[in-house]
Structure 1
Amino acid sequence: MATCWVPGAEGSGFGLDNLPYGVFSRATTEPRVGVRIGEYVLDLAAALREPEFAQSSLNAFLAAGSTAWRSTRAKVGGMLGSEAGRRHAEEYLVPLTEARLHLPFEVADFVDFYCSEDHASNVGRMFRPDQEPLKPNWRHLPVGYHGRSGTVVLSGGDIVRPHGQRKAPDAELPSFGPSERLDFEAELGFVVGTPSRFGSSVTTADFAEHVFGVVLVNDWSARDIQAWEYVPLGPFLGKSFATSISPWVVPLDALAAARVPGPVQEPEPLPYLQRVADWGLDLRMEVRVNDTVLSRPPYSRMYWTGDQMLAHLTSNGSPLRTGDLFASGTVSGMDRAERGSLLELSWAGTDPVTLADGSERTFLADGDTVTIGASAPGAGGSQVSLGAVTGTVRPVA
């Protein structure tokens, strides 16, 4: 493997085997596309002088397709991994401390799935204790819902506690006010580059031709609003107020060493959902509230994999658009220390978690900062970092 000449890049999680894309600006420049390497950003608009990088989003580059993605990755890797490349590219490195990060792509549509068997089973046990945890359809298709793309926001911002209608179990009528059960959900998001035709579907085999890469997602959830509104049509205002994503889009090619077989599926999925390649991912996630690590959800246990999500998403002929984002749903594991939401960690508010300062939480308090990070194995024993997605809860002004 080539050696990177950028100081501190090797061993940082943002070395040559990662090269994630984002959008940044400086005090003297407009937003443009860059690639993170260590604690620097390579200004692609200046280094490559191609028009799709002198843009305020990745969308033009995403739309260029997989051949362009791989060609650019090879060029950037060559510049950052050779002395000849150093002579050309070094002047275009920007320290992260001088870069302001922006939402990396214009979100076209947003779909959120429900693909963790452990999470879905936990929710079933909490709210339907006398029934089977999973609904009859769950093992036949990846359940999902359409979200609101206009409330997908960049990591690091404030999340204003939403107002909504909710009804306490012992109340005769609903009331309206700020959510009292605000939650996080640790998820992985898939970013679509190449669109598809209206009326056509995308097969599991074509996953990597349409999906460029991944981001970390926190699908903030107002559980009390959600519980009252979701019957009979599903999540709505309890979900659509904010969804945070990480600033760096990690290409699928950077996750080659992290690919693993998905879990055995019984019953066997219908033909359009059958896997032809391994798109399970060995991601090591970590959820932190303030200074306390609450859980480490294992993404490799996700029952439905990204290729199956994409195939189901388009199976009715719904077209893909450049900038579409679809998320995995909450990532959870078998043990309490692997649960990806406070709903599960506190078992619907009945079993509080204790933070490092001694305070307890069943759901999020104003001022709480949630950080979701993840890493994956890279080539030759290295680590590929997905960075982090953060957000701080603020009260309504």
Structure 2
Amino acid sequence: MYEIDATHDPKRKSWVESANAPDADFPIQNLPFGRFRPAGSSEAFRIGVAIGDQVLDLRAAGLIDTDDMNALMDATPAERQQLRKKISEGLTLQSAKQTTWQQALVPQSACEYTVPCRVGDYTDFYTGIHHATTVGKLFRPDNPLMPNYKWVPIGYHGRASSLVVSGTTVKRPNGQTKAADAQAPTLGPSQRLDYELELGYYISQGNAQGSPIDIENAEAHLFGVGMFNDWSARDLQAWEYQPLGPFLSKNFSSTVAPWIVTMEALAPFRAPFNRAEDDPQPLPYLDGKINRKQGQIDILLEVLIQTAKMRDAGDAPVRLTRGSALDAAYWTAAQLVAHHTVNGCNLQAGDLLGSGTLSGSTADSAGSLLELTAGGKNPIQLPNGEKRTFLQNGDTLILRGWCERDGVVRIGLGEAVGTVQG
């Protein structure tokens, strides 16, 4: 369990003034990790921590002696907590480190970023029960959820090589599609390109092959959480997904935010995990006291769109949906880790587990256009008069997440941004 300590103190302020703004994503209570370098340079990416509108270069500050993010993630929970304490104390107002650490700060606006760690393997789950139900109704109105859904965390292995960092353009994929009245499929660009609002859970220390991770120890194997957009070609998906699930409809690109918010930073925003009495209770390997007490994470989620026409007119992005991970996720991150390894599968530091689309229980909290438009039948109207069923070339999607509670400093997960290119 990650405890609330002095690093979460709402009274703690930073000598980096921008970190003290009430709406800042990266106050001193957050301290997310990422990899950066000066924009336009060919330097190697370095490990940094976001503080206000700056990045603290951890190696330049004398805090670490490596540029290997995965090695840092492979540290023990105690070692990671100690590093967080040192960073927090050094950035605190009137710290003796201010004079020297100011030289290790770089404006975020002057940086470029990459995927925050080396992702060796990526697994996408399907924890959003409202998403699964709504999408299931499109294909199976009388039986939207498959019989195994409430018993087993459903997932499939994705493609780590096509993970890209926020700001990278997303090229519209080609693939096979088949019209209902056609005799044969055709090859061409997807006409039903969609986004999926997800969270990405990053693994810290892995496990030996053949040695499952117990549910009570699963939290110790989680480094943190980041925003995640699993771009999806719905027309390719409809033709290919049986019998083995998604393939080309998913593996062309997935966008991650540049920052990983650590499990330590999320300690004040935990919530109990409960199953409805009329739902199946988790099997013993997916059930534990720690998970019951604080397995869920209270994260608010938002999706915005800015079309090419809006951008040309100088119009700001508009919100498509806003919801909560608490309202969406049927399984916790710890349960995903326990299930992934129960057969002996070995996870490694830097592995990524996607949550699956986190749609809320209301129409305005849906996590994909597939749901918002009822499979394309009900176009959404944008304020400038444009309509959308699925994404068009030039559309920019912005996924955001943040945590806020009374008596606690708000922290943000940053953004996962991508623009569709023809």
Superposition TM-score, scaled by structure 1 size:
0.96
Residue 40 (structure 1) aligns with: 54
Residue 310 (structure 2) aligns with: none
Instruction: Give the deviation of 1:170 after TM superposition.
Output: 1.8
**8 A contact 2:200–2:225 mirrored in 1:** yes
Residue 300 (structure 1) aligns with: 326
For the residue of structure 1 that corresponds to 2:413, the secondary structure is strand
The 2-side partners of 1:97 and 1:156 are apart by 13
Amino acid at match of 2:57: D
**8 A contact 1:79–1:88 mirrored in 2:** no
1:386 lines up with 2:396 in the alignment:
no
Amino acid at match of 1:112: D
Residue 276 (structure 1) aligns with: 289
1:352-363 mapped onto 2 (5 Å cutoff): 352-363=379-390
Task: Give CA-to-partner distance per residue, 1:212-244, whole Å, 9 cap, x none.
Answer: 001100000000101100111111111111110
The 2-side partners of 1:187 and 1:140 are apart by 21
Task: Give CA-to-partner distance per residue, 1:181-212, whole Å, 9 cap, x none.
Answer: 10000000000110100011112211221110
1:75-154 mapped onto 2 (5 Å cutoff): 75-81=86-92, 82-129=94-141, 131-154=142-165
Amino acid at match of 2:95: E
Two-structure CA RMSD over aligned residues (Å):
1.4
**8 A contact 2:114–2:164 mirrored in 1:** no
Instruction: Give the deviation of 1:262 after TM superposition.
Output: 2.6
Amino acid at match of 2:196: E
Residue 391 (structure 2) aligns with: 364
Residue 346 (structure 1) aligns with: 373
Amino acid at match of 1:242: S
Task: Give CA-to-partner distance per residue, 1:167-189, whole Å, 9 cap, x none.
Answer: 11121211110001100000000
Task: Give CA-to-partner distance per residue, 1:55-77, whole Å, 9 cap, x none.
Answer: 2x511111122222111100000
Amino acid at match of 1:25: R
Question: Bigger shift: 184-193 or 74-83?
Answer: 74-83
1:171-186 mapped onto 2 (5 Å cutoff): 171-186=182-197
Instruction: Give the deviation of 1:13 after TM superposition.
Output: 2.4
**8 A contact 2:35–2:47 mirrored in 1:** yes
1:7-26 mapped onto 2 (5 Å cutoff): 7-10=17-20, 11=22, 12-26=24-38
1:251-290 mapped onto 2 (5 Å cutoff): 251-265=262-276, 266-277=279-290, 278-290=294-306
Residue 250 (structure 1) aligns with: 261
The 2-side partners of 1:257 and 1:63 are apart by 23
Residue 316 (structure 1) aligns with: 343
**8 A contact 1:189–1:217 mirrored in 2:** yes
Amino acid at match of 2:54: Y
Instruction: Give the deviation of 1:271 after TM superposition.
Output: 0.3
Unaligned runs of 5+ in 2: 1-8, 307-316
**8 A contact 2:190–2:233 mirrored in 1:** yes
The 2-side partners of 1:136 and 1:30 are apart by 49
Question: Bigger shift: 362-371 or 169-178?
Answer: 169-178
The 2-side partners of 1:100 and 1:183 are apart by 26
The 2-side partners of 1:378 and 1:318 are apart by 37
What is the total number of aligned residue pairs between the two structures? 391
Match of 1:163 among 153, 165, 174: 174
For the residue of structure 2 that corresponds to 1:23, the secondary structure is strand
Instruction: Give the deviation of 1:5 after TM superposition.
Output: 1.0
Unaligned runs of 5+ in 1: none
The 1-side partners of 2:406 and 2:218 are apart by 22
**8 A contact 1:23–1:32 mirrored in 2:** yes
Change (3 A) 1:117 1:316: same
Change (3 A) 1:73 1:250: same
Change (3 A) 1:304 1:28: closer
The 2-side partners of 1:158 and 1:13 are apart by 24
